[in-house]
RNA sequence: GGGCGCGUGGCCUAGCCAGGACAUGGCGGCAGCCUCCUAAGCUGCAAGUCGCGGGUUCGAAUCCCGCCGCGCCCGCCA
């Protein structure tokens, strides 16, 4: 157990003798280390929260970690023995290193599905939110002891890919692009355009879709040859952001193995099922879905399956391979996710959790690949690199080292700026916000890490059995270090990766205050402070790791 | 028209689920800090009807109702 958790446990243990239903709060740091609000007890005890707090504060004994207890305005405030906390925390970090903040394997298997973009062209910035959220949550869950696999659901039989396929077979378009997703997207764009005004093209593309739904393996193989390079282009972009995906599951799998039809058959026998010709649907009004969308169609009138039906089969398959399923989805999938969830419940199958994110739009409106109103992820990456390179050069660095630093800064800035805001907020993309290298940004945190490295390079640190600190900036920094495992846990239970982003910023910020106030090299407390710097460097690194951002030795 | 989400200083944002301690922090603005471990840093100042109106409560940014604005969805598309 981590030192800060031991403090929390001690409080809970002591409180449990007096009250049940203990809910502790983390108060603002300058007020206390942990607080127990007494407001909810007021009714039951028929006393004011102030009186209750006083009463509880008097009854509670100090302990190994609890140094002081105070009743203030209806709160019982607990103060930690900061000497003990400091010593235990520093030693724990130096011993556990990259593992500090992590938890032992709990054997729970989680599949995180993210990105799953149609392989018909390059990722744009709007979609980039998906892999970054997905990859970060996966990293945090792994660190928290879960057995995590990431999955990309490849839609290999939809309209998008069919249009791409038709385009490459019937058109010949020059393209200067070398990256395959950019090279082939023009075929998709042109095919979509033709489909809109030419009935024959539309029919041909629809025929491709129908053939896929009938499970035509040869055709599916041929289509794969076309979309695979595009998919690889997408994955290459993700790789630059330090994102890789463990497994790829093709949608057609569930048509070929027949599981979609088993699912449809079972659902068709439910009392909620209805038919219009050969089209099968579920009536969802009893589940609170009303209006035009209460009919949830599973098949077409020609008997072929619809996307949503295949999605149900996919989730059943996935549910057999995981204890928990987490899907990262755009907010446009909310209704469909709800429908799939209802169907899975009717079938008494495991239901996935979903993390929805709002769209990233441009100041001039929604992104649209078709209308060319779009910023591609690759463009953002290139621009970020250029700007980072300028900053690096300003600081007199050059060559391979400069390139490496610029790359880490650029990729970090992109990831951080997306992950730091709550997924349900819509983002209007602006270059100056997306590529900010100051303030609440990845480079700010990377810079603090580089400062730690720089100090550690200048002096020899000697490991001891105990360390002492007393400056307020030292204590504040140590308390922040001690709370890292707490935030890992909280981030997992709330499925909110931005908590780690915010934590890393706080930590870097508190380190900067320490750096300002406490001289390390040459001070008579040099060795203790070196231990603190070493521990800080480690925890910044661990939190950056969770965000998929590189910790830099110098910049 | 119906459903879901969002609305916090000029701009962005935390807090909202589990109502209470002076509403968090960043960007931008203004004024400062490099004879001292990297100034991608630090300090100070100005700037807020927590969308609007009701309600519940001793107490509401937080819960409830209504309204307004914005986003997304409402296809036998994916």
Alpha-carbon distance of A91 to A151, in angstroms, equals 38
Q: How far apart are alpha carbons A337 and A334 in whole angstroms?
A: 5
Tell me, in Å, how far CA of A10 is from C1' of B13?
A: 35
CB A516 within 7 Å, strand B: yes
Instruction: Find the DSSP H helices in A420-525.
Output: 431-434, 442-458, 472-482, 484-493, 498-517
Q: Which of A19, A237, A8 is nearest to A128 (CA)?
A: A237
Q: Span A257-262, mean pLDDT?
A: 94
Q: pLDDT grade, residue A433 (50/70/90)?
A: confident
The edge-to-edge listing of strands for the beta sheet with A247-250 is A247-250, A147-154, A109-113, A324-330, A353-357
- Answer for A251: CB within 7 Å of strand B: yes
pLDDT of amino acid A298: 95
Q: Please give the protein residue whose CA is closest to the C1' of the nucleotide B33.
A: A516
* Angstrom distance (rounded) from CA A512 to CA A448: 7
Per-residue model confidence (pLDDT) at position A340:
96
A395 touches strand B (CB under 7 A): yes
Confidence at A288, pLDDT banded by 50, 70, 90 = confident
Cβ neighbour number for residue A386 with a 10 Å cutoff: 12
Residue A303 has pLDDT above 90, yes or no: no
A159 pLDDT more than 70: yes
Instruction: Say yes or no to pLDDT of A409 above 70.
Output: yes
Rounded Cα distance, A72 and A41, in Å: 15
What is the structure's pLDDT at A92? 97
Share of chain A above pLDDT 90, in %: 83
Whether A387 sits with its Cβ under 7 A from any strand B atom: the answer reads no
A162-183 confidence digits (pLDDT tens) = 999 999 999 999 888 999 999 9
- Judged against a pLDDT cut of 70, whether residue A154 lies above it is answered with yes
Residues 295-334 of A with CB under 7 A from strand B: 295, 297, 300-302, 306-308, 331-334
Give the model's pLDDT for residue A434: 87
Q: Across residues A274-289, what is the average pLDDT?
A: 88
Please check whether strand B approaches the CB of A521 to within 7 Å: yes
Separation of CA A510 and C1' B57 in angstroms?
Answer: 39
Tell me the per-residue pLDDT of A189-204, one tens digit each, with 9 for 90 and over: 999 999 988 999 999 9
Q: CB–CB of A314/A111 below 8 Å?
A: no
A368 touches strand B (CB under 7 A): no
Stretch A212-220: mean pLDDT: 93
Distance A551 CA to B34 C1' (A): 25
For residue A455, say whether its CB is under 7 Å from any atom of strand B: yes
Average pLDDT over every residue of A255-259: 95
Rounded to whole angstroms, the distance from the CA of residue A434 to the C1' of nucleotide B11 is 14
Q: Is the CB of A26 under 7 A from strand B?
A: no
Nucleotide nearest to A522 (CA to C1'): B37
Å between CA of A339 and C1' of B40:
47
Q: Are the beta carbons of A11 and A32 closer than 8 angstroms?
A: no
Give percent of chain A above pLDDT 70.
100
Write the CA distances from A72 to A22, A49, A167, integer angstroms: 18, 10, 71
pLDDT tens by residue, A319-374: 999 999 999 999 999 999 999 999 999 999 999 999 999 999 988 888 887 777 88
Q: What is the DSSP string of A482-499?
A: HTHHHHHHHHHHTT-THH
Kindly state the average pLDDT of the residues A96-112. 97
Closest nucleotide to A292, Cα to C1': B74
Cβ-count burial A328-355 (b if 16+ within 10 Å, e if not)? bbbeeeeeebbbbbbbbebeebbebebb
Protein-to-nucleotide distance from the CA of A306 to the C1' of B76, whole angstroms: 8
In this prediction, residue A30 has a pLDDT band, given cuts at 50, 70 and 90, of confident
CA angle, A6 then A9 then A10, to 5°: 85
Average pLDDT value over all residues in chain A: 94
- Decide: CB of A432 under 7 A of nucleic strand B: yes
Determine which of A46-55, A289-298, A536-545 has the lowest per-residue pLDDT on average.
Answer: A289-298
Quote the pLDDT of residue A332: 93
- Does strand B come within 7 Å of the CB of A417? no
Exposed, middle or buried: residue A522 (CB in 10 Å: 0-12, 13-18, 19+)?
Answer: exposed
So what's the ipTM on this one?
0.95
A20 CB less than 7 Å from any atom of strand B:
no
pLDDT score, position A68:
93
Nucleotide nearest to A28 (CA to C1'): B21
CA at A353, C1' at B4: how many angstroms apart?
Answer: 16
Contact A3, A85 (CB under 8 A): yes
Give the helix ranges, DSSP H, for A147-257.
159-170, 180-197, 199-213, 217-240, 253-256
Instruction: List domains and CATH numbers for chain A.
Output: 3-80 (3.30.1360.70), 109-361 (3.40.50.620)
**Tell me, what DSSP letter sits at residue A290?**
-
Average pLDDT over residues A111-132: 94
Determine whether the distance from the CB of A370 to the nearest atom of strand B is below 7 Å: no
A391 touches strand B (CB under 7 A): yes
Q: Which pLDDT does position A22 carry in this prediction?
A: 83
User: What mean pLDDT do residues A385-410 have?
Assistant: 95
In the prediction, which pLDDT does A291 show? Answer: 67
pLDDT higher than threshold 80 for residue A292: no
A46 contact to strand B (CB, 7 A limit): no
pLDDT at A209: 92
Q: How far is the CA of A72 from the C1' of B39 (A)?
A: 41
Mean pLDDT (whole number) for A94-111: 97
Protein CA A116 to sugar C1' B68 (Å): 37
Q: CA–CA separation, A13 vs A387, rounded Å? A: 53
Phi-psi region of A242 (alpha: psi -120 to 50; beta: other; left: phi over 0): left
Is A50 a residue whose pLDDT tops 90?
Answer: no
Q: Give the separation between CA A65 and CA A81, rounded to whole angstroms.
A: 5
Strands ordered across the beta sheet of A295-297:
A273-276, A279-283, A295-297
The nucleotide lying nearest A420 (C-alpha to C1') is B13
Interval A418-425 mean pLDDT: 94
Strand B nucleotides where any atom sits below 7 Å of a protein CB: 1-7, 12-15, 17-22, 25-28, 36-43, 58-59, 70-78
Gap from A349 CA to B46 C1', in Å? 58
Strand B contacted by A32 CB (< 7 A): yes
């Amino acid at each position: 157990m981590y030192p800060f958790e031991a403090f929390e446990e001690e409080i809970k243990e002591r409180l449990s003798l007096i009250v049940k239903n203990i809910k502790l709060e983390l108060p603002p740091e300058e007020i206390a280390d942990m607080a127990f609000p007494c407001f909810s007890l007021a009714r039951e005890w028929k006393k004011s929260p102030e009186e209750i707090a006083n009463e509880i504060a008097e009854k509670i004994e100090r302990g190994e970690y609890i140094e002081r207890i105070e009743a203030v305005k209806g709160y019982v405030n607990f103060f930690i023995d900061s000497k003990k906390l400091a010593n235990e925390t520093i030693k724990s970090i130096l011993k556990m290193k990259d593992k500090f903040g992590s938890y032992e394997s709990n054997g729970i298997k989680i599949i995180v599905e993210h990105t799953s973009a149609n392989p018909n062209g390059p990722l744009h910035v709007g979609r980039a939110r998906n892999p970054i959220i997905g990859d970060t949550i996966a990293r945090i869950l792994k660190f928290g002891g879960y057995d995590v696999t990431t999955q990309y659901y490849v839609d290999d039989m939809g309209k998008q890919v069919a249009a791409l396929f038709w385009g490459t077979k019937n058109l010949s378009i020059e393209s200067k692009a070398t990256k395959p997703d950019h090279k082939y997207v023009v075929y998709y764009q042109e095919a979509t355009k033709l489909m809109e005004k030419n009935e024959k093209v539309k029919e041909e593309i629809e025929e491709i879709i129908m053939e896929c739904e009938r499970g035509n393996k040869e055709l599916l193989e041929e289509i794969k040859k076309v979309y695979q390079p595009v998919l690889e282009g997408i994955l290459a972009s993700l790789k630059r952001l330090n994102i890789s995906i463990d497994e790829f599951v093709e949608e057609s799998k569930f048509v070929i193995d027949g599981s979609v039809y088993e699912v449809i058959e079972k659902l068709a026998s439910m009392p909620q099922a209805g038919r219009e010709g050969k089209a099968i649907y579920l009536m969802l009004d009893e589940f609170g879905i009303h209006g035009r969308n209460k009919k949830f169609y599973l098949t077409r009138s020609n008997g072929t399956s619809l996307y949503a039906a295949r999605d149900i089969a996919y989730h059943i398959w996935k549910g057999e391979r995981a204890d928990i399923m987490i899907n990262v989805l755009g907010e446009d999938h909310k209704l469909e996710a709800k429908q799939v969830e209802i169907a899975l419940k009717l079938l008494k199958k495991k239901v996935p959790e979903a993390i929805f994110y709002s769209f990233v739009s441009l100041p001039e409106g929604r992104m649209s690949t078709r209308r060319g109103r779009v910023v591609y992820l690759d463009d953002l990456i290139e621009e970020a690199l250029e700007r980072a390179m300028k900053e690096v050069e300003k600081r007199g660095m050059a060559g391979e080292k400069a390139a490496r630093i610029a790359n880490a800064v650029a990729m970090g800035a992109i990831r951080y700026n997306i992950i730091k805001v709550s997924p349900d907020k819509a983002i209007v993309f602006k270059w100056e916000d997306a590529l900010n290298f100051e303030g609440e940004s990845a480079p700010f945190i990377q810079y603090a890490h580089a400062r730690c490295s720089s100090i550690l390079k200048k002096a020899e640190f000697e490991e001891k059995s105990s360390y002492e600190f007393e400056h307020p900036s030292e204590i504040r920094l140590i308390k922040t270090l001690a709370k890292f495992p707490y935030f890992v846990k909280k981030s997992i239970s709330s499925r909110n990766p931005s908590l780690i982003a915010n934590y890393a910023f706080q930590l870097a910020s508190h380190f900067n205050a320490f750096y300002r106030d406490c001289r390390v090299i040459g001070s008579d407390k040099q060795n203790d402070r070196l231990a603190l710097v070493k521990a800080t460097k480690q925890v910044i690194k661990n939190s950056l790791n969770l965000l998929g951002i590189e910790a830099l030795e110098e910049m």
